[in-house]
Structure 1
């Protein structure tokens, strides 16, 4: 939702601002700690490691680091973790004031399981550690660390000497700190701190900082931490959302660093490293041989510089025995720095993409399988006016034969923007309205934001204030900022008590007028403060245990998301899967639901940028993600809106949304030709829901992204490493949306020299490893096929789908399946017998192989976690299609769905017969064969999806 300039908000001006005002947001040169860290130039490190007194345990080591300039001491800890992962922590050795660390269980799922760590060799200059198949080398002076995967260097810490750790101190060693200690820790400086003060020149912005009219007090002085992380052998790095920028991260040599600081930046600028709504400090490096990842666990404002170069081998002189080939190797150098907290890094050593995704998922979790309706189509705008308007929109989908699963309400549904309430004039019978919508299998969503209207007569405000649950100013008064209701208070969601109380408010007895079919949208949870610095909260505001907002800013939105998720889960007796959408996010937010790319614009460039933005979110675990269809701001022309629907129908979260001042744009309001294409795009989403559901289950189990860059599936194919306009859904569908006006054809890269691909509209087969031209003429389409976007099914895959489109997804639950079997071209030599006649052999060896899975459960509960689901593996080989159970504990639920059709594409010869075998029963099946397209259609096998079966093609 829009955030206006502060003065416009205060007077509630209705003018739409047409572009982001960049002056509202800091650049690096306006941030004291960013300037100090960035001015720290590459050189020999100031720190040395005292390897003569290392504390060695079965899975960890502890080493003292000493600053050679001022003798300040730090504690380095290195932990070997399960599954090729290493944790590196750097903290004060003897802190005079504790630094903030995110509690275990909030971002990390649990305390990571440790693994065996062996000291391979050690002397006063270096020590070599073995962690599974990896080597970690720690050098004493200058201190740095190198990581080798199977004897290949893949990562280096502090090789540029950029470790800079600002330790808390008092303003004068003769003056005691005025602020109270955190958790009773003595804040008077010790001897080591005094030595550091004597050798540290005072610089601007160290004790207080001003931006525009806002002053940020720093009672404990500067506290930033920074270090360089290099990736030898790599040219491409990805991740660290959220930025409206390319998929492959760019050098910041001539720009600001990439900034991670959750901010309300409406109608954001593209191709810019500015911070946006969410922050995930997680980066993946990939080359043709290996993938590695690094997660920088720090909740404070963070900046990341990137340089891509070809480095001298001499930089890794300690590794010279491991570096093969030319004297030059590609390398990406990165520099990470945060305003406060500690250095806490997780190094994921892969070695392949699927390994890195699994390793990160073990740390921060994966997306719980969403309820089916969450994967279908959502209709939203700011705002549907009243109950009559909602009923009209609901009926409009039925009238125009367009399915929809969710209708949304924005802030105007409330009583004066008091959340958990309804406008009594516009929505007097809200529970009845929700029941009328849910009678068709649909749901509703309302917005509940974390700013609470300052109003003693508002029960939420009064209850939270009575329990002392709001964030405080530095003087311990309640923090008061402007947001949609005007003057507002903000609950301290970092406090478990606050989250628990917030969660209780979603029960239908508390949230009057709601039902169990109402789900929730958390907006403005960066947090957005219209009259605050950078449209957010003052950094010296105080949270639980006295922690400053600067320490926890980037996890605030995660905590709001979590508390709401737990509230909806609690409302359903801990058995119904919640749906909660959040705008702000951090690592681990994937455990609580969906996110979206915020306040975009009805512009072709915003449609185009949505692809790399969503691919990046998927790479860092935020798989249930989408962009507002059509653009939130301004009015899209029919062609843009239609193309956006086509693109979004192949994105994980599929929601249309629009600003209050835009024209209505429900799908049936499009011109007739565009309405037809839009309707088909939405219906295509519903056809493929079985596949989407199966891919999301795979994501929960393995951490594999739902929406994947091509290099994830083709990791050795360098041609794919920069491609961002084409992507995979799961492992089987390749999609190339149309993102430019007036396009009649587009070029599509089909990866894989050994692959074949089938056009999903025509079933025409194309070989991989080439660019192909596809007709996408929208303006003068004579049929639906020429107006579609390019979608290809991978040879060797089997995709389940449903063709009977109903009003909503749950009404399709018992409908029959169609299996699309797309054959590869691998020869079936294993079936050869010299007794088989030559022509039969030639026929068989032309038929390929394919496999695919189908997952099904009750679509709404958590019973699947107790084994109540169906998972089938379909395999086509030697002209036989078979189905087998791959449920780890055996089938514990039944389905009414059955298979009504099998379509085999790429089948090379007209069959003479098709037979079905299920147990002891055998029967013949009817079929059609299109010799021109090589498509075999097998009709009405009539097999329940639970059954094992074999279909044999003769």
Structure 2
């Protein structure tokens, strides 16, 4: 009887758990700072509370600056007034310097003193290439800072910057050489605190409770907190993921906005229907912040730590009434407070000075973004769930019937056999290989979902193997952790262990993943990890990964799962294709393994609007291949919202429509003929610009510069751009302004810079450096090409991107006031890694002195592989030339061609008069010149 009662209870419990209404965001289901002891303690510290000083400073045999941090005992102290640091053991500090002006600071307990527990340091994030660029310090200089009694140690970063370890009071900062102006600093406000390992005293209680869950905390408090200051900054950004503005709002100090009295939380969580304009943490965490200011430029700070983190942006006057901390330079700055539950200090200072420099320096540490396959940069169609094979083929055929291109069809959890991953429901999907192959015949692909929760079923081979081999995360009692997720009772593979990751990767072979084909790719969801009956809908902090507590690595769990899945696709038998894996959870380094999306958003205008700063923020942290669910995951969008979302989403780096299973079907043809036409045109826009997007993905792959960019990244001195996150740049050439209100009649668009801008619909010219009012049109969102740029396009519409491979190119040349323009085009085979061996085409286009020139921009690699294409240039569109221009001469062919009036695009109704060279029939891969006569 007891067994049956328990079974009924569990079934009812699971039904409640999977109800969307239960999962909608409820504030009291998650901890706030006052309910989080380490955050509450750190926030209560006063400026100057840190009493540490640096001693025994020297250069180590490894070429690092090393020192001990010990507590300074005040003169005439009384025992009851001693700071807590006095009774602590010395901390070990190490400063390392790397190429490109990067300073690394590590602070940890001294292992030679045998602390009770070794603190966790996050592996597999910092790339080997960065470690090989370490500069070995030969000596250090000493100088007195301001009126300090003792000396400070100065190390060389590069010709423009120096790193300084201030001994007393303890502080680390980077400054400009020569003038001594600070760039960024740690502990300038004296808020540093490091809770060291210790033995529990008799009667001491380390347990923490929240909403019926008990965290045993067997090792006690291990938190770290410190202040970081950004000098010359007008604002700070970064630290995704939060649904809020690009410029981070103050969370502490006078005048804090409603809803922003909590720190920005970095703790990966499964949050259904999250609310916009909140510092609450979502699905991923990147503890990297970038500052920017008109005067100084940009700088950045990165703390490699996978435990829960809380970060305060301290508003002006936050320390009013407190004794001012002595500082040698009194200049404008933004102070922040960083707090983490565990880990070590492993921090990186990036000097910039430009925003693109800071991003480049950051990815120099964590790795370059992966180069996606071409098909992955096109349009994706997804729903929870397409019911069966008949539904799949019906949707596929409807896209063709309505002349709407798409590249990828997705299957959610219902395609599996009882939510057992790597399986198929044999009734609904009896012929998965045939289904995939039929899509592949049209150049299309399929994605299936694989989540980290494994159904506890002795007849399920994945569970049986993982259980028998000891591959699961353990609970605090060292038994396989058992939590609830979509399959019911589930366990979670311990992805922190490289051996277990290799085992997981093997599951994606065609032999192990029966029914998979080379055209099948993967979606990792719920990998925060999501545990429906766990504290805050995630895994208990005292769960164990080997000897490591989950609290120490929580934010990196989804990263390791993403890594293992990506490596699994690399190990498949088809060899050299680049993997495509979408992940919901992320961490520094995620950019090396695939794409990310912004999670379970809602079909409303606020979520459409906040998608832009969310995507822009991710791009600043190197994660460029990102997007939001077009239309909103929850709810039923009205047609005008859905259309506007498609028109904006066509410019997301990752362009996917997705919807919850309880929503009405919303494929593009279900909203009436006119709306179908508008959505078709939005999707066609993406396909038209695929050559431009693919070129930008290559730029991101090489430099880290994101595909979608804040306006201030391209116009860093224009203060009008600093708070503008409703418009964005696609690369350096295209500005897009979203429409975020229903039935809007007009929209105000700020066009930055001194050059003009060309309306992408009409070709009309607008002056830069000012705001313009435009009538809102139903056909498109406002978009403008920057004068002085050249953009490549493909204008023939096909069923998919793979069918466009041999199509000709169009070049759109937008001349500036000097009648000049430049642009680039990158081409490779669209799928393999051969580009890493030189098998690609990279063209540079330049218009100057009345000539358009195409030249090779690819470095010559002796013995490298070659890539070739027979594609030609079909049209050249000229914006900004006199209409009297009639002809041009192609060299070296010595062929004269006519210049005529023609449309900017081939779309119906889009026929403004611009200058066009039709069918010059120039090979895209060759050198040539067109001289305007």
Q: Same fold (TM over 0.5)?
A: yes
Give, in whole Å, the separation in 1 of the partners of 2:333 and 2:328.
14
Q: Which residue pairs with 1:894 in the alignment?
A: 868
Give, in whole Å, the separation in 1 of the partners of 2:878 and 2:388.
49
TM-superposed CA distance for 1:126, in Å, is 1.6
Paired residues for 1:288-437 under 5 Å? 288=294, 289-309=296-316, 319-320=328-329, 329-437=331-439
Change (3 A) 1:170 1:488: same
Cα contact 2:16–2:22 (8 A) shared by 1: no
Is the aligned partner of 1:577 residue 2:569?
no
Cα contact 1:453–1:485 (8 A) shared by 2: yes
Q: Which residue pairs with 2:269 in the alignment?
A: 263
Is the aligned partner of 1:229 residue 2:228?
yes
TM-superposed CA distance for 1:37, in Å, is 1.2
Give, in whole Å, the separation in 2 of the partners of 1:401 and 1:39.
61
Is the aligned partner of 1:805 residue 2:797?
yes
Q: 1:884 aligns with which of 855, 878, 884?
A: 855
Cα contact 1:105–1:111 (8 A) shared by 2: no
TM-superposed CA distance for 1:129, in Å, is 2.3
Question: Which range is displaced more, 740-749 or 306-315?
Answer: 306-315
Q: 2:185 aligns with which of 145, 148, 156?
A: 156
Give, in whole Å, the separation in 2 of the partners of 1:273 and 1:279.
12
TM-score after normalising by structure 1: 0.90
SS at match of 2:496: coil
Is the aligned partner of 1:169 residue 2:174?
no
Q: Which residue pairs with 2:284 in the alignment?
A: 278
SS at match of 1:309: coil
Q: Which residue pairs with 2:620 in the alignment?
A: 619
Change (3 A) 1:57 1:757: farther
Q: Which residue pairs with 2:65 in the alignment?
A: 61
TM-superposed CA distance for 1:909, in Å, is 4.8
Q: Which residue pairs with 1:216 in the alignment?
A: 215
Deviations 1:725-783 (A, max 9, x none): 0000100000001111011221100001x2110000000011100111222232xxxxx
Unpaired segments ≥5 residues, structure 2: 1-9, 73-82, 145-149, 904-910
Q: Which residue pairs with 1:776 in the alignment?
A: 776
TM-superposed CA distance for 1:53, in Å, is 4.2
Paired residues for 1:532-547 under 5 Å? 532-544=534-546, 546-547=547-548
Paired residues for 1:676-695 under 5 Å? 676-695=677-696
TM-superposed CA distance for 1:576, in Å, is 0.4
Q: Which residue pairs with 1:738 in the alignment?
A: 739
Paired residues for 1:530-569 under 5 Å? 530-544=532-546, 546-569=547-570
TM-superposed CA distance for 1:930, in Å, is 6.8
Is the aligned partner of 1:520 residue 2:522?
yes
Question: Which range is displaced more, 7-16 or 434-443?
Answer: 7-16
Give, in whole Å, the separation in 2 of the partners of 1:166 and 1:107.
29
Change (3 A) 1:141 1:12: closer
Give, in whole Å, the separation in 2 of the partners of 1:287 and 1:15.
43
Deviations 1:197-245 (A, max 9, x none): xxxxx7xxx6110001100011111000111101122120000010011
Give, in whole Å, the separation in 1 of the partners of 2:665 and 2:835.
40
Deviations 1:157-193 (A, max 9, x none): 1011111100111112x89xxxxxxxxxxxxxxxxxx
Give, in whole Å, the separation in 1 of the partners of 2:568 and 2:23.
37
TM-superposed CA distance for 1:315, in Å, is 6.0
Cα contact 2:108–2:345 (8 A) shared by 1: yes
SS at match of 2:173: strand
Q: Which residue pairs with 1:508 in the alignment?
A: 510
Q: How many residues align?
A: 879
Change (3 A) 1:798 1:279: same
Question: Which range is displaced more, 637-646 or 120-129?
Answer: 120-129
Give, in whole Å, the separation in 1 of the partners of 2:593 and 2:697.
14
Deviations 1:356-412 (A, max 9, x none): 111011111121110011110000000000000000000010000000000000000
SS at match of 1:686: helix
Is the aligned partner of 1:764 residue 2:764?
yes
Q: Which residue pairs with 2:29 in the alignment?
A: 24
Cα contact 1:822–1:904 (8 A) shared by 2: yes
SS at match of 1:925: strand
Deviations 1:685-736 (A, max 9, x none): 0000000000000011111111000000001111111100000010000000
Q: Which residue pairs with 1:782 in the alignment?
A: none
TM-superposed CA distance for 1:585, in Å, is 0.4
Change (3 A) 1:358 1:12: closer
Cα contact 1:226–1:343 (8 A) shared by 2: no
Q: 2:922 aligns with which of 910, 930, 943?
A: 943
TM-score after normalising by structure 2: 0.92
Change (3 A) 1:287 1:637: same
Cα contact 1:59–1:80 (8 A) shared by 2: no
SS at match of 2:823: strand
TM-superposed CA distance for 1:131, in Å, is 1.4
TM-superposed CA distance for 1:913, in Å, is 2.4
Give, in whole Å, the separation in 1 of the partners of 2:423 and 2:290.
44
Change (3 A) 1:53 1:794: closer
Give, in whole Å, the separation in 2 of the partners of 1:934 and 1:482.
62
Deviations 1:880-913 (A, max 9, x none): 0010011112682110211011001011352242
Cα contact 1:165–1:226 (8 A) shared by 2: yes
TM-superposed CA distance for 1:308, in Å, is 3.0
Q: Which residue pairs with 1:191 in the alignment?
A: none
Paired residues for 1:645-656 under 5 Å? 645-656=646-657
SS at match of 2:785: strand
Q: Which residue pairs with 2:891 in the alignment?
A: 917
Is the aligned partner of 1:755 residue 2:755?
yes
Question: Which range is displaced more, 368-377 or 769-778?
Answer: 769-778
Q: Which residue pairs with 1:251 in the alignment?
A: 250
Q: Which residue pairs with 2:907 in the alignment?
A: none
Is the aligned partner of 1:103 residue 2:95?
no
TM-superposed CA distance for 1:319, in Å, is 3.0
Give, in whole Å, the separation in 1 of the partners of 2:439 and 2:381.
13
Deviations 1:34-59 (A, max 9, x none): 11111112125211111x54335674
Paired residues for 1:70-85 under 5 Å? 70-72=86-88, 73-85=90-102
Q: Which residue pairs with 2:76 in the alignment?
A: none
TM-superposed CA distance for 1:122, in Å, is 4.4
Change (3 A) 1:6 1:637: farther
Cα contact 2:24–2:271 (8 A) shared by 1: no
